[in-house]
Structures are given as structure tokens and as C-alpha cells.
Chain A
Amino acid sequence: MTRKEPSAATRQNEGANPTYSGNRGLLIEEPLIFEVGDPAASGVDLPDAPETASRLGTLARRAPIGLPGLAEPQALRHYMRLSQKNYAIDLGLYPLGSCTMKHNPRANEKMARLPGFGDIHPLQPESTVQGALDLMALLTAWLTELTGMAGVALSPKAGAHGELCGMTAIKAAHDDKGEQRSVVLVPESAHGTNPATAALLGYGVRTIEARGDGTVSVEAVKAALGPDVAAIMLTNPNTCGLFERDIVEIAQAVHDAGAYFYCDGANFNAIVGKTRPGDLGIDCMHINLHKTFSTPHGGGGPGSGPVVFSEALIPYVPIPYLMRDGAMRRLVESEGAAEGRKPFGRLTAFHGQMGMFVRAMAYMLSHGADGMRQASEDAVLNANYIRASLRDVMSQPFGDQTCMHEVLFDDHFLEGTGVTTLDFAKAMIDEGFHPMTVYFPLVAHGAMLIEPTESESKASLDQFIGVLRDLAEAAKAGDEDRFKRAPQLAPRQRLDETRAARQPVLRWSAVEPAEAAE
């Protein structure tokens, strides 16, 4: 592993001032650890191991692994340089629809790192972790109050895992009643995890079309219901940013047909403190703590996806779950100990994402009932402000109507310009903004889904609006080149995703892939 000299390819040759190093002021190019590290180097001082007779038998490792090491200064530099190449909420607005990129409070991080939370083992005697169980109970109480539901399964590790939890409970409920139901209803605008989860459980998916305004009508649901339907999976507000007006009637129709109502809670941020899913007739809903409740996205994870349940489904909630034993709290960790319930099984080792529970609890305690309601109102206000400020220059697939916490545009306004939604998004990068969600939901052509969240100031929104207006005008004025070449100012220009998929290089190798034949 030798240090790679900057090659012609790494020199920034477009525009003025190519540099020798390939660096550009504070933006520093950084090779892979395998190119700068060394197997003998280490940033950790460890004592020599005492001489002992090995108990590894014949299975001791003989061959080298090939891992590089770095002394501490080099390691810090490596990761610091990498960090500079990332956009982040702490840098600016992230208008990603359905992701709820709200501010991640630092107090959350401090609380999660209290040794009493961070340094406890899931299998310590329960008497030594009563505070942790208390926190889980507190989170349960807040989530059930906010949603108007009867109980919570805390163990799912992310939103999609929560979907699996909710849908498996529904399946278990039907199985328990001897009901053979093989179909799940999913609107065409649903997030891809919805049909994927249904398919995993062996269900066929029946798609429901949206009506002209993007929402699902109770008539369409009734037409699709039948004795073979196990459940409907709806997102509310839906993935177009609209509240499903017929939801109460839909829930009624679903229940009348002997089916259950699963709600994808990704968009819960719009309605916290304004309405309760339980009052709408929902049987289970996953909550993304990393969306609505501010736990950090961490570049892709970890998330946490607890699921709230109605009374009808509580018996099937998976292990482990909390219970009281006199003054003590305990976890029910096996089916045998589940008195009066029929848990459908276990979804993960241990008890759930405690680190995210603490963070979410810090967020909830900080906001309180009044703060959380205000947050929902500001989130909806901000999205509508963006809508009202762009409706004359951008196009909305279902016409201009009040949205909730996110607003959906399509690429109709770009017709004839040669600029695609993708090009438009990339041009936003040069203006210092992460693009909005693009090409989702599929029901809009060239969809652009914008969710500002309540964390944005009016000044920040005004700047964002100004940028989008400028870009829309530039596209219509025929400045195609600006969009096709974008981004020019980011650490990398557009990357060749086709090549990455056709010739996958998924790891560094000591031998160059081209030399390795095959």
C-alpha cells in the first residue's frame, strides 16, 4: 500500500487554477485508507498480552488480514477531510420530501451518552437497568398519547422494519382467527417499502389508483376490498403531501370487510398534536424516530421504527415487550412468559434502539405538547409558503391546493426546455442546496417533493425560493447548458452510475480489477 501521487485525473482541470495537489483551498482530496495506511501502523496503544496457553485449538488465524492502520493524527485527518465533502442539515436546508430533515438537537446526543444509558448491556440483570426500562415506558406513554393508540412495539430497528412488524402482527391476527386472506391494498403513490413488505409476507399486492387530486377515494377502496383482503397500507398524509380526507370512511370500510388498516407514519410530522391516528381508525402505524422525532440520520442510519397498535392487535405484538411486576419493570422475552398474549415472534436481538429512544425522549420533553403542536403547524406553514411562492413558475400535478408538510411539483413546467428533473436538481447543488426528493412518488411525472420542516427560518425559505425561481426562469430562458453540466462546484461532478452498475467495483483490492482478469 503506497501513497498514490496525484494523477492528471485528480487535478482539477476545468475552470481556472488547476492545482498540483488536486486540492482546492479547503476542499482536500483524500485517498482510501488502503492507499495511505499500513498494516503495522496503529493509533491505539495496547499493552502486550500476557503469556497464556492458547485455547484457540486449530482455529487460530494464520493468514494476514490486509487491514491498514493509521496513527491518530492521520486517522483524524482522513475522516475530517471526508467529512468536508458532505452536505448536512447543520449546513443548510435539506428539502427532502418524506424524510423530515429537521434539526438534530445536540442535547439529544449529550443525553444518549450518559453512562447510565450508553454504557448498559441489554442482558444485565433487570434490577440494574430499571431506569432504562422506565425510559422505554415513558416513550411508550408519550407515543400512545400522541397517537391515541393502545400500545407500542419498541423493537423495530427502522421504519421498514416497523412496517414488517405491523404487517406481521396483522397476518398473525388473521392466522389466529383462521382467516385466509392473501391480498394487501396499496395505493400507487406508496413508498416502495410498502409493497416489498407485503410481498415478503407472501401477500399479493392490489394497487389502488389515486383520484384527480392525488388522494385515495373511499369508493376506490370499497371497490378493491373483498374477503381476500388482509389489510390496506396507506400513508397519511400521503406521499403527495396531502391529507387523506376519506380516511375515516376508508378505515370503516376496511374494518367492515374484516381487514386491518396499516398506516405508514413517515409523514407524521404534519399532524402531531393536530389529529391522532387512533381517532382515524388506524390499527397500526410505524413511527420514524429519525424523522418526526429528530434522531439524526447519520448518513443513512441508524434509525428506529417503533409501531403503535390498536387494542385489536396488541395480543400479537412481538417480544420483547414491557410489563410490570410489582414495583419492578420487566421485559417479556419469550413466548412462554407472554401471559394472555400471542406474540408473533421476535424481530431483532435484544430490545430495540435504546440510543434513539433517549434522543427522541429528549426531543419530546424539550418540545412538550405545545412545542410539538407548534412544530407541526410550522412544518405545514413552511411547506405552503413554498407552494405559494413557486406556484406561478413551477407546476403541480394535481393543481394548486393546500398541502400539508410537503409540496409536490412535477416536470411539466420544464417541458420544451430540454432540462429534466434530474438536471434541475443537480443545478440546485451549485446554489448550495441539497436537492429535494426527485422521481418519487411515481404518480407524478418527474416528481419533485419538497419538505422544509419546521426548523427553517423565513430567511432560509426565502433564499431557497429565490434559488428555485431563478433556476425555473433560467430553464425556461433556454440556458440548458447550466443544468446539463451541473453540478460544477461540488466536490465531484456528476458520477457515472451506469458504469458503477455495469462494472461493479465494490471494494478496494490489492490487485487492480483490470489486471485480475475475469
Chain B
Amino acid sequence: MADIKFTEAHEYILVDGDIGTIGITDYAQEQLGDIVFVELPEVGRAVKKGDEAAVVESVKAAAEVYAPVAGEVLETNKELEKNPALVNEDAEGKAWFLKIKLADADELSKLMDRQAYDSFLETLS
């Protein structure tokens, strides 16, 4: 069953078995403004929890996307290289950044679920 978790840095990870699909949340894309460029990691790279996994650039800001949990990069979303605007259109769906093979599923427990993330967002406004 697919399960979605969130970080305070506004990354999400959609977990299915031992594959995690990582991206940034709708809140994050709205904060950043029009996305103009996405820099994705190399397939095969190993990331630890908290490592910089990708960079997303808008006209006025650049933000690091951190790996919510450790794993190995299996695939990156080529669509974002051609069409960075997709991040604004469908951040939590089609505009995923990368997929990893989870190294340690226990790390997921430290992340927020949807309800906790939504509550967290309320504290920010």
C-alpha cells in the first residue's frame, strides 16, 4: 500500500514497498514561485537522510531538496528537465523528482503523516 510522509523542509516521500518517490510539496512550490530549473542527481548515487538530493530554482530563489530518508537513486524525472513548470502545476503528482530504493524503512517513522504536516503548515502562517 502506498503511504505518504512529509518533512518540515517540505519534501514528501511516497512509499511503495521499498521504493520511495520523492518530491516537494504543493506548499513549497507556491512559496518558491515560478519554477525555472530543476537539477536532479545521478542515478545510482547513494544518499543519506538529510543529504542534498536535488536543487529546485525559481526566478528569485534556489532551494535544496533533501533526502527524507537514506537510499539509492533509482530513477529521476526527465520530464522536469524539459518542463520545470510542472512542479508548479502538479508538485505532489506528476512532478516527482526522484525515486530511491530505501536503505532503512525505520527512518520513515520519524517523518510526519499528512495530518501532522497539515497541522505543521498551520503553524507557519
Q: Chain B interface secondary structure, helix, strand, loop or mixed?
A: loop
Smallest CB–CB gap between B23 and chain A, Å?
19
Q: Report the nearest B residue to A497, measured CB to CB.
A: B59
Task: Say which size band chain A's interface belongs to.
Answer: under 10
A501 CB within 8 Å of chain B: yes
A-B contact count (CB 8 A): 15
Q: Report the nearest B residue to A502, measured CB to CB.
A: B36
Q: Report the nearest A residue to B59, measured CB to CB.
A: A497
Q: Report the nearest A residue to B36, measured CB to CB.
A: A501
Q: For the complex, give the distance between the alpha carbons of A502 and B37 in Å.
A: 7
Q: Kindly list chain A residues whose C-beta atoms are within 8 Å of the C-beta of B39.
A: none
Whether A439 lies near B85 (C-beta < 8 A) is no
Q: Name the interface residues of B6-37: CB closer than 8 Å to any CB of A.
A: 33-34, 36-37
Q: Kindly list chain A residues whose C-beta atoms are within 8 Å of the C-beta of B34.
A: 498, 502
Q: For the complex, give the distance between the alpha carbons of A502 and B85 in Å.
A: 8
Q: Name the interface residues of A432-468: CB closer than 8 Å to any CB of B.
A: 439
Smallest CB–CB gap between B35 and chain A, Å?
8
Task: Say which size band chain B's interface belongs to.
Answer: under 10
Smallest CB–CB gap between A367 and chain B, Å?
38
B84 CB within 8 Å of chain A: yes
Q: For the complex, give the distance between the alpha carbons of A501 and B35 in Å.
A: 9
Q: For the complex, give the distance between the alpha carbons of A31 and B34 in Å.
A: 29
Q: For the complex, give the distance between the alpha carbons of A501 and B61 in Å.
A: 12
Q: Kindly list chain B residues whose C-beta atoms are within 8 Å of the C-beta of A439.
A: 60
Interface 0/1 of B83-111, CB less than 8 Å to A: 01100000000000000000000000000
Interface core residue of B33, B36, B37, B57 (most chain A CB under 10 Å): B36
Smallest CB–CB gap between A202 and chain B, Å?
18
Q: For the complex, give the distance between the alpha carbons of A498 and B57 in Å.
A: 11
Q: Kindly list chain A residues whose C-beta atoms are within 8 Å of the C-beta of B37.
A: 501-502
Q: Name the interface residues of A462-508: CB closer than 8 Å to any CB of B.
A: 497-498, 501-502
Q: Name the interface residues of A407-443: CB closer than 8 Å to any CB of B.
A: 439
Interface core residue of B57, B59, B84 (most chain A CB under 10 Å): B59
Q: For the complex, give the distance between the alpha carbons of A497 and B36 in Å.
A: 10
Whether B84 lies near A502 (C-beta < 8 A) is yes
Q: Kindly list chain B residues whose C-beta atoms are within 8 Å of the C-beta of A498.
A: 33-34, 36, 59
Smallest CB–CB gap between A420 and chain B, Å?
11
Q: For the complex, give the distance between the alpha carbons of A502 and B59 in Å.
A: 9
Q: For the complex, give the distance between the alpha carbons of A498 and B34 in Å.
A: 6
Smallest CB–CB gap between B30 and chain A, Å?
14
Smallest CB–CB gap between A447 and chain B, Å?
13
Q: Kindly list chain B residues whose C-beta atoms are within 8 Å of the C-beta of A501.
A: 36-37, 57, 59
Smallest CB–CB gap between B68 and chain A, Å?
23
Q: Name the interface residues of A161-192: CB closer than 8 Å to any CB of B.
A: none
Q: Kindly list chain A residues whose C-beta atoms are within 8 Å of the C-beta of B33.
A: 498
Q: For the complex, give the distance between the alpha carbons of A219 and B81 in Å.
A: 46
Q: Name the interface residues of A501-518: CB closer than 8 Å to any CB of B.
A: 501-502
Q: For the complex, give the distance between the alpha carbons of A382 and B34 in Å.
A: 38
Smallest CB–CB gap between B39 and chain A, Å?
13
Q: Kindly list chain B residues whose C-beta atoms are within 8 Å of the C-beta of A502.
A: 34, 36-37, 84-85
Q: For the complex, give the distance between the alpha carbons of A439 and B57 in Å.
A: 17
Q: Kindly list chain A residues whose C-beta atoms are within 8 Å of the C-beta of B59.
A: 497-498, 501
Smallest CB–CB gap between A21 and chain B, Å?
32
Q: For the complex, give the distance between the alpha carbons of A152 and B116 in Å.
A: 57
Smallest CB–CB gap between A416 and chain B, Å?
13
Q: For the complex, give the distance between the alpha carbons of A439 and B59 in Å.
A: 13
Q: Kindly list chain A residues whose C-beta atoms are within 8 Å of the C-beta of B60.
A: 439
Smallest CB–CB gap between A238 and chain B, Å?
22
Smallest CB–CB gap between A499 and chain B, Å?
9
Q: For the complex, give the distance between the alpha carbons of A439 and B61 in Å.
A: 11
Q: Report the nearest B residue to A498, measured CB to CB.
A: B34
Smallest CB–CB gap between B83 and chain A, Å?
9
Q: Kindly list chain A residues whose C-beta atoms are within 8 Å of the C-beta of B36.
A: 498, 501-502
Q: For the complex, give the distance between the alpha carbons of A439 and B37 in Å.
A: 21
Q: Kindly list chain A residues whose C-beta atoms are within 8 Å of the C-beta of B85.
A: 502
Q: For the complex, give the distance between the alpha carbons of A502 and B81 in Å.
A: 10
Interface 0/1 of A342-370, CB less than 8 Å to B: 00000000000000000000000000000
Smallest CB–CB gap between A128 and chain B, Å?
50
Q: Report the nearest A residue to B37, measured CB to CB.
A: A501
Q: For the complex, give the distance between the alpha carbons of A501 and B59 in Å.
A: 7
Q: What are 15 inter-chain pairs, A to B, with CB distance below 8 A?
A: A439-B60, A497-B59, A498-B33, A498-B34, A498-B36, A498-B59, A501-B36, A501-B37, A501-B57, A501-B59, A502-B34, A502-B36, A502-B37, A502-B84, A502-B85
User: 8 closest pairs, A vs B, by CB?
Assistant: A501-B36, A498-B34, A497-B59, A502-B36, A501-B59, A498-B59, A498-B36, A502-B84
